[in-house]
Amino acid sequence: MQRVFITGYGIVSPLGGDNAENLKSLRNGTDCVSPVTAFDVSKTRCRTAGQVTDEWLKEPMTRKNRRLDRSSLMMLQATREAIRTSGQFSPEIMVIATSSGGMSNGERFYRSLIEPTGRVGAAQAVANYMAQKPVLDVQEKFGWRIPAQIVSNACASGTNAIGHAFQLVRAGLYDSVICGGYDPLSELVFTGFDSLQAATPDKIRPFDRDRNGLVLGEGAAVLALESEKAAAARRATVLGEIVGYGVSTDNYHLTQPDPSGIGPKLAMKRALADAQLDPASVEYVNAHGTATVFNDATEGKAISELMPGVAISSTKSMMGHALGGAGAIEAVFSLLAILHQFIPPNINFRQPEPDWRFRVVGNEEEPAKIKRVLSNSFGFGGANATLVLQAAH
């Protein structure tokens, strides 16, 4: 049973195009949700999202780079940051999550079949539609020829990918893994959430008594994981450690969680048991916190029962919900909380539900002594996943 160290991280999200900008926006509680510009939203209730600025994804102009999709560009930027922070890191395998992959390219292809302009760009759209395409583009850019595993399990995907990579290293199957997740904004997915009336035209307010829906986001984040012996052999700087991973499936409803909170509660209990930790040893929970009425109620009930008094926040309040990429992004945010000893804010927060027994850190960051963080991700179909991250020691 190998210890699993985090030796590098990289992120691009609506909060910023690199690690430093994400940390700055996270600490400042910057609201990075803005009017959608990628497609027409004139007929939807919700018209905002967390968007990654195109300027952050600029690559040197070559014939090959012109063919890269936004998903690939986000993955390239996140991986570049992870390699920069980890030093001479050489992965043996990639484990990457997404929920919709290149869905926007699928839309482009099918629309080309009925548009009078014909199939101009159709081949490129099909090529970028595959969920593994951004991973292959990263491998080509860095000269890697290694296995790749793609995890797609709704909004738990990012946490599942990191959890699976953690298990691979801990079991001694691999010594070095690049893991994480990505998801771009997609018109089909955006209008789907809007038609479910899960998206809000208002501010996103996780864990607020008057919350009324989520806002979508996008981005990519990756972690460099190494076994203790591999990190020691190259004298890598250890930034943190993953010590636990738990999953559950409640099978209650296609889109709604079991109101008892049993799914999230089991995932958190199993993650803590996997880490051989007591719930009281965790200082902060980076909650899934989508700001929908049902999700926050379910997660709130589970946290109240398992970890009364703990400090929580939802960083989705600042950037929206990046779906399959959310768990990876929030794992990086959890690592930043440990590295810089603060609890990220839960912006737009006004007042909690009266029955909840935890403390929401709202609107401004809070300095705190943090050794351990729980990071939650819960998805449609009752997919629940939790990671336990710990400070390096």
* Residue among 81, 82, 134, 83 at smallest CA distance from 104: 134
For 24, 142, 220, the CA distances from 57, given in Å and listed in that order, are 19, 17, 11
Cβ 264 vs Cβ 252: under 8 Å: no
For residue 245, the cross-strand partners are 387
Q: Is 321 a catalytic residue?
A: yes
Tokens of 349: 């927060």
The one catalytic residue in 46, 155, 164, 179 is 155
* Residue among 237, 263, 268, 241 at smallest CA distance from 252: 263
Length of the chain equals 393
Q: Is 155 a catalytic residue?
A: yes
Taking every pair of Cα atoms in the chain, the longest distance, rounded to a whole number of angstroms, is 63
- Alpha-carbon Rg for the chain, nearest whole angstrom, is 20
For residue 242, the cross-strand partners are 4, 389
**336: alpha, beta or left, given left = phi > 0 and alpha = psi -120 to 50?**
alpha
For 48, 64, 124, 206, the CA distances from 159, given in Å and listed in that order, are 25, 31, 30, 19
Q: Is 46 a catalytic residue?
A: no
Residues whose CB falls within 8 Å of the CB of residue 42, separated by 6 or more in sequence, listed in order: none
**Residues forming the active site:** 155, 288, 321
